[in-house]
Structure 1
Amino acid sequence: MVEVRELHEMAEFEQVDALFDGIWRFGTGAPPITVELMRALAHAGGYVAGAFDGGRLVGGSIGFLASGNALHSHVTGTAAGRGIGFALKLHQRRWALERGLERITWTYDPLMRRNAHFNLAKLGARPREYLPCFYGVMDDAINRGDESDRLLTAWPLSDPRVETLTQPDASAREVALAREEPRGPDGLPPGAVVALADVGGRPVAGPVDAGTVLVAVPADIAGLRGADPGTAKTWRHAVRDVLGGLMAEGRAVTGFSGKSYYVVEKM
């Protein structure tokens, strides 16, 4: 059973620092947050939490208050599996609601398929802004050699959809309805056209003039960066042009379909 709690001691912050370094392998690069800043944020009333499994730290999350009555979740890292990320998000939500906050925001790499599915389908969050190369050049082992495009994502904490998705006793039908994932005979949203497809592992652009369009992302961008950096860069710019372009036009990302496609709609 994973236990999540706020952290207050230097020894705990050092454990989070070691966990993050094990995940991202920063090397000589600067980590996204230091032990000293964790200490300052926790002391000032910010969000610094750890997830523990049998007394062992298996996840950490750090956030700060943001404009619009929100908590901005700056960095979260977990060991693989066991629902640790979901447990941390549930703790964040409780923490924010107890303080009268209305939403939690965070950024993530739009090419990370697993994160997109988790954020949009499992949590019910929605991207609000495409941010090209948001953090500049990053030198950790996961992001090295790529541009740091990010999606700024908002999680409306009291939205009925979010409330359903975060209730442990919600039925499978209630969860499916909350995820808003209608399917046609081909397994895709009815009437949708593919604006960016994955053809043989490479992005291929299609029409964007339908009311609902789908934007594919690669199956494993982290592995692709190491195995074929040229194709990884092609994906980066294709998703930036298509997804970023659609969002810049005012279209809304309303879901993540089939664990493969962003669903983008005219509003």
Structure 2
Amino acid sequence: MLQIKRLVEIEEIRATQLIEEQVWNMPVTPIHQTYTASKNGGMILGAYDNDELVGYQYSFPGFKNGKAYLCSHMLGVLPAYQKGGLGEKLKAAQKECALEMGYSLIVWTYDPLESVNAYLNLHKLKGIAASYLENHYGVMEDPLNKGIPTDRFLVEWWIRSDHIQSGQKNDEVHSYEPLIETELDKSQFPVFSTETELIIDEDVVLIPIPENFQQMKQQQPNLALEWRYKTRKWFQKLYLNDYVAVDVRRNSKEKVSYYEFRKRNSLALVGN
């Protein structure tokens, strides 16, 4: 039976390093850093299958413009548990702990072209991709990031807001055409076909991303780079015009997902 609890003892926290090694295959975060953060406004959550630690979430406090918030830095789940919704359960537990600690905002980054993470962060959790960070971490050599610029979305999760509590009914989004049209190549990867101009007063703007970016990187690295640079151009243009990404819509037939962008001032971000 899976159980999630807050980790407070140093040996409990040290056990998360084993998961970090398996998930990211790179040097682990020093225990003196994670332990100190957990004692000073941060938190570390552990997910257990009976007595075995199978996933964890690590956050530390941030501060900007006179306000404190929680930086959600790492969420790792062992491969055998990655498709059972454990990541979403860890985020739900993080939200409850953060509310108890007095936080209103949790932030984190993720690769905009990773469709599974996008669907979790924006559709299920109702975060917003609030800004675009070009090559945020510079050159990285781990398997997930090697060979491509480390562009990231910065997610804002306003955990006390009406946007989170009630969500939005956006069924009308299907009436909008995406700015970038795609088609499938011989290998069944989506490629670009046509583009249209951005009309900056549109209520909704749709941008596609590939269904399986990691597989594309391995089999067609040049196409993966094209997706990075093409979407970077459009994402940056949207943010310059005050749009933020608020949802993700899947289209398995076309092997893409669509980001739904809306004007930030149209969102109910009460509590920020």
TM-score by length of 1: 0.85
The 5 A counterparts of 1:178-257 are 178-183=167-172, 188-190=173-175, 192-200=176-184, 201-210=190-199, 211=202, 212-257=204-249
1:8 and 2:8 correspond: yes
1:55 and 2:44 correspond: no
Of 82, 93, 96, 2:95 maps to 93
- CA 1:158/1:43 → structure 2, altered by over 3 Å: closer, same or farther? closer
Q: Deviations over 1:92-123 (max 9, x none)?
A: 11111112111111111100001111111101
Secondary structure of 1:193's counterpart equals coil
The number of residues matched between the two structures is 245
Structure 1 unaligned regions, length at least 5: 165-177
The separation in 1 between residues aligned to 2:239 and 2:18, in whole angstroms, is: 37
Of 60, 82, 85, 2:84 maps to 82
The residue type equivalent to 1:182 in the other structure is: D
Map of 2:123 onto structure 1: 121
Q: Answer yes or no: is the 8 Å Cα contact 1:124–1:179 preserved in 2.
A: no
The separation in 1 between residues aligned to 2:76 and 2:108, in whole angstroms, is: 13
Q: Out of 7-16 and 126-135, give the one that drifted further.
A: 7-16
Map of 1:167 onto structure 2: none
The separation in 1 between residues aligned to 2:109 and 2:192, in whole angstroms, is: 23
Offset at residue 39 of structure 1 (A):
1.7
The residue type equivalent to 1:5 in the other structure is: K
The separation in 2 between residues aligned to 1:82 and 1:142, in whole angstroms, is: 21
The separation in 1 between residues aligned to 2:91 and 2:183, in whole angstroms, is: 34
The separation in 1 between residues aligned to 2:108 and 2:69, in whole angstroms, is: 10
Map of 2:259 onto structure 1: 262
The separation in 2 between residues aligned to 1:25 and 1:214, in whole angstroms, is: 34
The separation in 2 between residues aligned to 1:13 and 1:34, in whole angstroms, is: 10
1:73 and 2:65 correspond: no
Secondary structure of 1:238's counterpart equals helix
- CA 1:122/1:90 → structure 2, altered by over 3 Å: closer, same or farther? same
Structure 2 unaligned regions, length at least 5: 185-189, 252-256, 266-272
CA RMSD of aligned residues (A): 1.9
Map of 1:174 onto structure 2: none
Q: Out of 104-113 and 14-23, give the one that drifted further.
A: 14-23
Secondary structure of 1:139's counterpart equals coil
Secondary structure of 2:174's counterpart equals coil
Map of 2:107 onto structure 1: 105
- CA 1:8/1:99 → structure 2, altered by over 3 Å: closer, same or farther? closer
Offset at residue 134 of structure 1 (A):
0.5
Q: Answer yes or no: is the 8 Å Cα contact 1:203–1:238 preserved in 2.
A: no
Q: Answer yes or no: is the 8 Å Cα contact 2:47–2:55 preserved in 1.
A: yes
TM-score by length of 2: 0.83
- CA 1:46/1:230 → structure 2, altered by over 3 Å: closer, same or farther? same
Of 25, 32, 37, 2:33 maps to 37
The separation in 1 between residues aligned to 2:158 and 2:120, in whole angstroms, is: 15
The separation in 2 between residues aligned to 1:49 and 1:231, in whole angstroms, is: 37
Offset at residue 237 of structure 1 (A):
0.7
Q: Deviations over 1:36-82 (max 9, x none)?
A: 31122123341111111222112111111122331110111113122
The residue type equivalent to 1:12 in the other structure is: E
The separation in 2 between residues aligned to 1:198 and 1:57, in whole angstroms, is: 42
The separation in 2 between residues aligned to 1:241 and 1:82, in whole angstroms, is: 34
